[in-house]
Structure 1
Amino acid sequence: MAAAEVDGGTILVEPNGFACTLDDVAKRLSAGAVTASVFLNVNADQQFVHAADGRIVTRFEPDYPMDRAGGDEDRLLPHMIELGMPTEDDGDEDDDWGDPIHTAFALAERVTGVRMTPEALDEPVLVGSTRGLL
């Protein structure tokens, strides 16, 4: 995992990893803070997890954002609607509303105030194992 300090917070990047989407990890990382985690793997498995003050606020698969869970699963609805995410199941599986992962990153930026850019990782970063998080 690599960590980079940016304006407004820290970005964690975990190539081929999912630790930050796990409830226990997200709760610990969000103690006294706000976090958002976006996950995608080579099998197209996807996950968005938003946590605040040690609680999971909402989680969903970015390619199916109408199926949410969490302590306040609808808290992000205004942002999701503004970004064009479908928030209710209308039965149309073929809805083309954009790129789910790009939209999930835009949602993460809105809820955390931290912007993920390619330049964010151009500076020296802290690199370490996620072993202690799991």
Structure 2
Amino acid sequence: MIKGVTMTEPHPEFHWLSGRGPLEDIFCVSFVRGLSCLEVLTRLGVDESTVEEMAFDELNELAMEEAAATSGTDPGYVGAVKLGEWAVLVEPLGWRVPVKRGLLGRLSNETEVVSISRHDYADDGFVYAVDRDVMLRFDPLTPQYREGVDSEHWEAAMDEVGLGRRTFDDPIPDRPIACAFALARKITGVSFTSDVLDKPFLVAVANKQ
């Protein structure tokens, strides 16, 4: 059992993403199907001269240093790791994929993207896109306000992972970020557990857009 976690809480394997873990309280994790890590970074729009392999701790330290120097206005350092048929893009202190205009379309072109963002001082987000079309989008705190061309199809899956809130008066989901990663696992088959950060990442600096 994880220290401080009871078995009645949902998805304990993802609780590290809700607390003060290595990704802190602002990050974005995106799953992209069928592309290599380099292809994902290229679609993201990185400076290809900066691409190199490094440990997550190094990536995180660079992101922290840049955030301190720039007040976090446009995070640049990103990393990708391959998990099965999915490339997982990690943006420490970032929110690029769900926010930057046109980027979600580029990443999902002829493939699928699931992206989860946590931002304790703004809004969290979940988005699932297929070939440039948004299938499902919602804030994990208010999943009843979901949208997307196929949003109703995911209602049962959202119920199963603890995101079945129907009205504003219903209780807020327990551990909404953990529930969002459980929904991502239903779609992708990939579990973004803490040991993923032990793998080598392909890292680059994203161009300012």
Deviations 1:74-112 (A, max 9, x none): 2211210111212421x425x153111000011111112
Aligned length: 131
Per the alignment, residue 113 of structure 2 pairs with: 35
Structure 1 127/70 Cα, relative in aligned 2: closer, same or farther at 3 Å? same
1:65 deviation in Å?
Answer: 0.3
Calculate the TM-score normalised by the size of structure 1.
0.86
Say which is worse superposed, 9-18 or 114-123, in terms of deviation. Answer: 114-123
- When structure 1 is superposed on structure 2, of 78-87 and 47-56 the one drifting more is 78-87
In the alignment, is the contact (CA less than 8 A) between 2:83 and 2:190 conserved in 1?
yes
Name the aligned partner's letter for residue 184 of structure 2: A
CA contact (8 A) 1:40 1:46 kept: yes
Aligned CA RMSD, in angstroms, stands at: 1.8
Aligned to 1:124: 200
Deviations 1:8-29 (A, max 9, x none): 3111110111111136222211
Structure 1 residue 117 displacement after superposition:
1.8
- Which entry has the higher C-alpha Rg, 1 or 2? 2
- Is the partner of 2:81 in helix, strand or coil? strand
| TM norm structure 2 | 0.57
Distance in 1 between residues matched to 2:206 and 2:183, nearest whole Å: 24
Question: Is there any run of 5+ residues in structure 1 with no aligned partner, and where?
Answer: none
Matching residue within 181, 184, 193 for 1:108: 184
Q: Do the aligned partners of 2:126 and 2:138 also contact (CA within 8 Å) in 1? A: yes
In the other structure, the counterpart of 2:81 is 4
Structure 1 consecutive aligned stretches of length 4 or more whose deviation exceeds 6 Å: none
SS across alignment from 2:150: coil
Shift in alpha-carbon separation, 1:49–1:130, aligned structure 2, 3 A: farther
- CA contact under 8 A between 1:57 and 1:75: conserved in structure 2? no
Question: 2:94 aligned to 1, 11, 17, which one?
Answer: 17
Distance in 2, Cα, partners of 1:51 & 1:25: 11
String of CA shifts for 1:110-134, please: whole Å, max 9, x gaps.
11222212222312111112327x4
Q: Confirm or deny that 1:47 pairs with 2:115.
A: no
Identity of matched residues, %? 33
Distance 1:87 1:74, change over 3 A: farther
Aligned equivalents of 1:77 and 1:86: distance in 2?
Answer: 7
Structure with the largest fraction of helix: 2
Q: Which amino acid counterpart does residue 159 of structure 2 have in structure 1?
A: I
Stretches of structure 2 lacking an aligned partner (at least 5 in a row):
1-77
